[in-house]
Structure 1
Amino acid sequence: MIWLQILILVFLAFICYQDMLYRAVYWWCFPILAILMVLLKYNTSGIQQTLTDAGYGLLFLMVQIFILWIYFSVKHKKIINITNNYLGWGDVLFLIAIPFYLSPVNYVLFYIVSLILVLLYALATAKIITNNKHIPLAGLQAALLGIAMIMDYIISSLELYSDNWLYFLIN
């Protein structure tokens, strides 16, 4: 389904463009991205695997957000809404959309690696861009996911939608 992959790449590029330029993304991009990812994963893995993997990814994300909420609430000694000052809704919606395609292990790896790379980007550009303290997390992660999907297409053994590479590595 090359046309579906191309459409996803176009949406990822659009999200990246919007977030880099405006530090905001239209909310409707994320449900459409999630639907496109469900369709792509369904074609490779079936509905059962798609929903199971998405459930694990979303559970991981909920735990991460809960830990952040606890951390900032304890730090400020009051209940904090982390989407007000710390994490944008676009970032959360992007992280909700992508487990509908990525396998659980690939989702966790993408999450960790992309956060490290975005942090390095933020540190590198902090001296250059001093007037804007907002980091385009969803946009940069969209660009990184686009690169990963292109690599997945070129290197067929990657399979972002499956954890088979891990089982192969362990054996």
Structure 2
Amino acid sequence: MKIAPAVLLLCLAVVFIQDWRFRKIHVALPLVIFAVSLFIITIEKYNLLEIVLFNTGFFLITLGILTIYMSLKSKKFLNPFQHYFGLGDLLYYLAITPLFLLKNYILFFILSLVFAIVLQFSLKKFIREETVPLAGFSALFLFIIILKDSFFVFQKITLL
């Protein structure tokens, strides 16, 4: 394994640990994840700008629909970052946009949410907080996916 993927895996592990313990992540982590991802994918010669824009667009549309739905449900505007979603979650999901083609980003996004729900319910005895460490659980899931993509040749999800 080369140095850049190892740095990416290390950052994902730190995101998981920080989000699990403190329910927040350092702002530098998503920046490093994004920079390392850009470096890795640039080497592979994909249309990186298109990948990042499409994945970011999907994520922002999803976040917008969530905001509209929750606001309509409560009959007043709700800021998703105060009620449902952390800023670290936003930065994390934007940071990983270079790692996936759009269909795989959508698949990863959905599966990471399901993974987070399953972990949250499974670890309910050990979790004192009411909030879900979404970026942390998603980072753990991506860590597993990257390892799977690195060691097995079938059905790769990431561009690594």
TM-score (norm. length: structure 1): 0.87
Q: Which runs of 5+ in 1 are unaligned?
A: 163-171
The residue that corresponds to 1:26 in the other structure is: 26
Question: Counterpart amino acid of 1:140?
Answer: F
Superposed displacement of residue 130, structure 1: 6.4
**Identical-residue share of aligned pairs (%):** 25
Superposed displacement of residue 124, structure 1: 2.1
Q: Structure 1 stretches (4+) deviating beyond 3 angstroms? A: none
Alignment of 1:143 onto 2:140: yes
Question: Counterpart amino acid of 1:143?
Answer: L
**Deviates further, 66-75 or 115-124:** 115-124
Contact 1:57–1:107 (CA under 8 A) maintained in structure 2: yes
Structure 2 CA distance, aligned partners of 1:135 and 1:45?
36
Aligned residue pairs: how many? Answer: 159
Contact 1:91–1:137 (CA under 8 A) maintained in structure 2: yes
TM-score (norm. length: structure 2): 0.93
How far does the alpha carbon of each residue in 1:68-104 deviate from its partner, in whole angstroms, 9 at most, with x for none?
A: 1001110111111000121001111111011112111
The residue that corresponds to 2:116 in the other structure is: 118
Give the greater-gyration-radius structure (CA).
Answer: 1
Q: Which runs of 5+ in 2 are unaligned?
A: none
Alignment of 1:78 onto 2:76: yes
CA gap 1:130/1:44 in 2 versus in 1, 3 angstroms: closer
Q: Aligned-residue CA RMSD in angstroms?
A: 1.6
CA gap 1:77/1:57 in 2 versus in 1, 3 angstroms: same
Alignment of 1:62 onto 2:56: no
